[in-house]
Amino acid sequence: MRNITIRHVFCFEPFDRVPPGDDNDVLELININLTQILNRLETLNTKVDQMAADNQQILEEIENMTSVVQSVLTLIDHLVEQVANANNDPVATQTVLDSIRAKREALANAVAENTPAEPEPPRR
């Protein structure tokens, strides 16, 4: 039986320096190491797949937030236009101001409801 070490299998030491013995021992050691490498590659592949799914979810959430932000900007532009158009009419101006206050409150409530709680600081 040859005295094979991990250094031989990973080519740190040439096989011709291995004492003579059964070549099946060498093949078995190589097979064991290849199996371990394949197992690690499968684990990495699983982790990469999970990261891809997580990234896709993050991208979808960003897209949703972008849509919400764009809606808010459109709302603000519309309200500014309404204020500009109602400038000479005190009743119309008050109606627009009431609308702005109501929409501001609705927006503030929506943001508060959808904002995650602050994580507790780690205990020391």
How far does CA 89 lie from the centroid of its chain? 51
pLDDT of residue 44: 92
Share of the chain above pLDDT 90, in %: 10
pTM for the structure as a whole? 0.44
Mean local confidence (pLDDT), 2-7: 56
CA distances from 9 to 19, 33, 34, 39, 55 (A): 14, 8, 10, 18, 38
Per the model's pLDDT, the better-predicted residue between 29 and 24 turns out to be 29
pLDDT higher than 50, residue 22: yes
pLDDT band at 64 (very low <50, low <70, confident <90, very high): confident
